[in-house]
Amino acid sequence: MRKMMIVAALLAAVVSMKAQVKFTVSGKAVSETGTLIFGDITKNQPIDTIEVKNGVFHYEGNAPEKAFLCFIDSETRTRSFFIVDCENITIDMNDDKASGSPLNDRLTAMVQQSNAMMKELRTIWATRSKTENPDSIAYYEKKYEELCENWLDMLRQTIRENQDNPIAAYALSELMNEIDYEELKGYVESGAPYLEHPLCDRPKKRLASLELRQPGKMFIDLVEDDVDGNPHHLSEYVGKGNYVLVDFWASWCGPCMAEMPNVKACYDKYKEKGFNVVGLSFDRNKEAWVDCIKKNELDWVHLSDLKFWQTVAAKTYGINSIPSSILCDGTGKIVALDLRDKSLREKLAEIYGF
């Protein structure tokens, strides 16, 4: 299942991220008291903290023009976004509403639509998870897939309709992990004005990472330690005549662990045919990594240098989000990437004939 977990005008119309502008935010919080984290989603880092009193908050500051900023409730993790394009901005975190300019009104419409679709997706998946009837499971999975595609189409439409402003940059940053290499390349290489926004650094990096592991390329060797601290080359396992799934994961990664039963089922089904899995972990705590392997009976090859996002695996293969994977054939050539859930099962069934 595809995890959820999601663009001309003249270049002169593109937002300038150099000019600092003053702005004031008056807002309603989700709680009567507490603390909000104020941050820049372009840089993915906090800027300040704001105190909530009687359910409201106030903030004055300076930021680059057209920056994407957000408030995050430190307890509920509720988030509200806005664009710095006017002096006075109003935020209502209860319904994800930002107002003060036509651009923020348009952003609010997109975010609210996206949130409603995500809520429906979670409901469908929760219902699917509670049923054991095969027909019902198939029904809800099909419904989930259809709504996923509707969400992606909404993001695509948002990009088409906002070529000259940063809303398209935000939509592409949501879409980038859910589309294939060719579609992402089409967006990044389109030359559209919104691509000048710093938020588009993310899809540009994503494209560069995908280029390192496109089907048809040979795997790249690396060295990491096993759970006993012994170093191993990836080439000890890949390119030895059998198909190998190189799985980029971590014990702390929720989506990775949600996918792990599927990987295990595929490994158990095809291991007698020579299929192997090599897990390259992004862990930094050895005890947590080893315990996770033992607890979940992940009985395949595991390697890590315990360097978190600085791991050699990330640098070698351009991995900037997990779970991720490459499937290599017996020669070490990459034949598929980022296969999950049904797509992994279908690919292996195609390879092995059952």
- Count Cβ atoms below 10 Å from residue 346 Cβ, excluding itself: 11
Instruction: Look up residue 198 and give its two tokens.
Output: 């710093």
| Omega within 30 of 0 (cis) for the link into 323 | yes
Residues above pLDDT 90, as percent of the chain:
79
Tokens 């900023």 sit at which residue? 69
**Residue the block writes with tokens 């390259």:** 280
Taking a C-beta distance cutoff of 8 angstroms, is the pair 192, 7 a contact? yes
Q: What is the CA radius of gyration of the chain?
A: 22
Distance CA 30, CA 332 (A): 52
CB 36 within 8 A of CB 50: yes
- Residue predicted with more confidence, 3 or 205: 205
Please, which pLDDT band fits residue 2 given cuts at 50, 70 and 90?
very low
Helix axes 166-175, 134-161, angle to 10 degrees: 150
**Nearest residue to 147 via CA among 179, 123, 130, 165:** 123
Confidence of residue 3 (pLDDT cuts 50, 70, 90): very low
Q: Is the pLDDT of residue 17 over 60?
A: no
Whole-model pTM: value is 0.76
Dihedral sign, Cα of residue 335, residue 300, residue 317, residue 333: negative
Q: What is the pLDDT of residue 18?
A: 54
Q: Do 340 and 326 meet the contact criterion of CB atoms below 8 Å apart?
A: no
Angle of helix 102-130 relative to helix 166-175, nearest 10 degrees? 20
Query: What is the phi/psi pair of residue 214, to 5°?
Result: -75, 145
The CB density around residue 83, as the number of other CB atoms within 10 Å, is: 25
Give the mean pLDDT of 152-179: 95
CB count, 10 Å around CB of 275?
Answer: 20
pLDDT in the model for residue 4: 33
pLDDT tens digits, 49-87: 999 999 999 999 999 999 999 999 988 889 999 999 999
Q: What pLDDT sits at residue 20? A: 87
Task: Name the token pair of 232.
Answer: 């191993």
What is the H or E stretch that residue 177 is in?
A: none
Whole-angstrom distance, CA of residue 192 vs CA of residue 196: 8
CA nearest to 36, candidates 64, 5, 65, 78: 78
The span from the CA of 118 to the CA of 214, in Å, is: 30
Q: Residue 83's beta-bridge partner residues?
A: 68
Q: What is the pLDDT of residues 233-282, one digit of tens each?
A: 999 999 999 999 999 999 999 999 999 999 999 999 999 999 999 999 99
As beta bridge partners, residue 36 has 50, 73
All residues at 6 or more sequence positions from 117 whose CB lies less than 8 Å from its CB, including other chains: 147, 150, 151, 154
The answer to whether 23 and 5 are in contact (CB under 8 A) is: no
Q: How distant, in Å, are the alpha carbons of 49, 265, 309 from that of 46? A: 8, 40, 19
Nearest to 89 by CA among 74, 68, 110, 115: 68
**Cα–Cα distance measured from residue 62 to residue 182, given in angstroms and rounded to the nearest whole number:** 38
